[in-house]
Amino acid sequence: MKSNDIYNHVERLSELLRVDSRQAGAAYGLQPIQLEVLHYLSICNRYSDTPKAVTEYLGQTKGTVSQTLMLLEGKGLLSKITDEYDKRVSHLKISPKGASLLQKTIPSPIFIKACEILPDNKQTEIVAALKTLLLTLLQANSMKTFDMCHTCRYNIKTEEGGYFCDLVKQPLADNEIELICREHEFKNTGS
């Protein structure tokens, strides 16, 4: 049981990330959490770009998220579009300004620098280890995975070579299956 070692290292990495993210965001008047929201919106699919999904992803209350979103909208970094079929839900679209800001701040500069001096095979090892840790963490605690359609049990490959989501009963474009989804479930839910 190395839970202590693992925890300590993740905590330290987390602290460093947070400090760096705060500094990176400060240049544009943004808080860490605001950057995280934008980042999430840049990697989620069209079923997962709602305030509710952000709430689940960040593990906060809807009130808290609502405030952050209003702030981001006020800064012109995203816009809310009411859903066509359910007028209660809105979809959050990153504005060009938001996108360019994201591109400048993520990934965090310290990670870029670190990867510059890390040999490629080491980087691969690290990614694999992080992936294992993250997946186990989610699985062991029955948390939502928020992973790509790619690995989702609802994702079906059609005869024409395209993709289809069996949950929302809609076809998916090729670039969409690389995005993360709030409904994601692994194929082999071993629990």
Partner DNA sequence: ACTATTTGGTATCGACTCGATACTTTAAAA
Partner DNA sequence: TTTTAAAGTATCGAGTCGATACCAAATAGT
Under the binding rule (CB under 8 A), the answer on residue 156 touching a second copy is: no
Cis check: omega of the bond before 51, within 30 degrees of 0 = no
24's CB contacts (< 8 A; 6+ apart) are 35, 105, 108, 109
Query: Where in 29-68 is the site for DNA (CB under 7 A)?
Result: 29, 31, 33-34, 50-53, 55, 58-64, 66-68
By CB under 8 A, residue 27 contacts a second copy:
no
The option from DNA, a second copy, none interacting with 161 (CB < 5 to 8 A, set by class) reads: none
Three-class SS state of 180: strand
- Judged by CB under 8 A, which of 137, 156, 158, 162 binds a second copy? 137
Question: In angstroms, what CA-CA distances link 7 with 1, 2, 11, 153?
Answer: 11, 8, 6, 31
Residue 100 in the binding site for a second copy (CB under 8 A): no
Contacting positions for a second copy (CB under 8 A): 1-19, 36, 39, 43, 57-60, 106-118, 120, 122-134, 136-141, 143
